[in-house]
Amino acid sequence: MVNQSVLKIVISAFMLYCPVLGAADDATHVYEKASAGIVLIKTDKGAGTGFTVSGDGTIVTARHVVDGATKVAIKTQSGDIYDDVSIVAEDERRDIAILKINGFDLPIVSLGNSNDVKPGDRIFVIGNPLGAEKLKASISDGIVSGLRDLEEGYKVLQLTAPVSPGNSGGPVLNESGQAIGIIVFRLREGENLNFAVPINYVRGLLASSEKSQPLRSWKKPEGTTSLFSEKVTLQPGKWKSAKTGAVWSVRIQTDHLYAEKEEPEEARKLGAFQTLETKKKGNKYVGSIHTSYVHWVMNRITGEKIVNKSCTVDFLVEISVVSSDRIEGRQFLPLPNAKFDSKRCRFLGDPAWQDLVLIPE
């Protein structure tokens, strides 16, 4: 006769293990169904993701992926490159663009119904992190953590699935492998705060794009090579401060330059962060450095760190040089020996302009 305690342990282990197998099977099914329809979009400004929705070459992406570009090329999972690309419909408010290439019998990503999406639904994201070909068609998973109204005339899906620069324009997929959203942005101040535009906003654009003339097109000039073969000056993702050694993740998106400092995991869990957000004005990028300061105490019994005060302070920043091997400017920061008043959430003493120099890590 089987010992009852042993039987309970076996049953518990089985119940814990089965969901993991099911999750892996779901991810494999979704990847096999949708990954062939994922495309890598390269421009003279950067790179992003799109997905094919018709066999003749209709592609959905985020508008900011191609906005402001003078060159655009698209590479499919099979390795085919298309240098002649048109934009046939766009929704600036919701950050959606419909592109067209001259394809035939291309694999597609089928569309779901975003009206059926509920918080707690399991989802998958397939895209091209950092716009890198070596990382193309990477899959991650998570859940829909909320349906949010931005009070700007449309709604978004809040997701927990990890995304990176380069994932923009990629599909959010349900467990059936259908696209129910498009990755459009993430909040750098939080961990896994990522957002997608519901796919039903795309359906109307697709209907109108079938009858409309191209809004604009990008043609490969005669005698030039493709964006995928020529050496395009793209900014490396990781940069290091020449002064402090701190590592920053940098992203350039049309006329914006964003950066996020890599904080130690323990500090990040407590809520500490430092991000940079600038916009090009003339020959400079001008904006702010957002810094979250966290004051914590140690629980002497458990050893756990408990936050008792946190606040965010903004400082001015100007970037005057952006090249493939150097980012240079200045930042209006407190002096290195300035003391921080956590009660008033401010530094004591006057800030001053200080040099900012970043080099590729």
Shared domain check, 261 and 349: yes
Task: Check if the beta carbon of residue 91 is closer than 8 Å to that of residue 63.
Answer: yes
Shared domain check, 119 and 101: no
Shared domain check, 85 and 133: no
Shared domain check, 144 and 102: no
End-to-end Cα spacing for the chain: 63
Task: Check if the beta carbon of residue 72 is closer than 8 Å to that of residue 218.
Answer: yes
Tokens 């004051």 sit at which residue?
295
pLDDT class of 3 with cuts at 50, 70, 90? low
35, 64, 140, 164: the catalytic one is: 64
Average pLDDT of 316-323? 88
Residue 289 pLDDT > 70, yes or no? Answer: yes
Domain assignment present for residue 353? The answer is yes
| 109 closest CA partner among 200, 34, 29 | 34
Q: What share of the chain is helix, strand, coil (3-state, %, to 5)?
A: 15, 45, 40
Select from 218, 253, 271 the last residue of a domain.
218
Shared domain check, 271 and 325: yes
Domains identified in the chain, total number: 3
Shared domain check, 77 and 213: yes
Question: 185-214 pLDDT, tens per residue?
Answer: 755 444 456 889 999 999 988 887 766 678
Domain assignment present for residue 21? The answer is no
Shared domain check, 260 and 327: yes
Question: 21-59 pLDDT, tens per residue?
Answer: 445 568 899 999 999 999 999 988 888 999 999 999 999
Residue range of the domain that includes 93: 35-107+207-218
Domain assignment present for residue 61? The answer is yes
What's the number of CA atoms in the CB half-sphere (13 Å) around residue 57?
19
95, 114, 140, 141: the catalytic one is: 95
Strand 346-347, strand 216-218: pairing = unpaired
pLDDT class of 6 with cuts at 50, 70, 90? very low
pTM to 2 decimals? 0.60
Amino acid (1-letter code) at residue 55: G
Query: Which CATH number characterizes residue 327's domain?
Result: 2.40.128
Residues 128, 139: Cα–Cα separation, whole Å: 9
Domain assignment present for residue 25? The answer is no
- Asked if 256 is an active-site residue, the reply is no
86, 164, 168, 209: the catalytic one is: 168
Domain assignment present for residue 301? The answer is yes
Domain assignment present for residue 255? The answer is yes
Domain assignment present for residue 154? The answer is yes
Question: 261-270 pLDDT, tens per residue?
Answer: 888 777 777 6
Residue 108 pLDDT > 90, yes or no? Answer: yes
Shared domain check, 180 and 310: no
Shared domain check, 211 and 76: yes
Strand boundaries in 37-84, DSSP class E? 38-43, 47-52, 58-62, 72-75, 81-82
Residues 128, 42: Cα–Cα separation, whole Å: 11
| 159 closest CA partner among 114, 200, 128, 224 | 114
Query: Which CATH number characterizes residue 81's domain?
Result: 2.40.10.10
Select from 151, 171, 199 the last residue of a domain.
199
Shared domain check, 195 and 135: yes
Question: For position 211, what pLDDT does the model report?
Answer: 63
Shared domain check, 135 and 81: no
Shared domain check, 351 and 243: yes
pLDDT class of 119 with cuts at 50, 70, 90? very high
In eight-state DSSP terms, residue 104 is: S
Nearest 5°: the CA angle 4, 7, 9 is 115
Domain assignment present for residue 233? The answer is no
Residue 235 pLDDT > 60, yes or no? Answer: no
Question: For position 88, what pLDDT does the model report?
Answer: 92
- Asked if 83 is an active-site residue, the reply is no
- Asked if 12 is an active-site residue, the reply is no
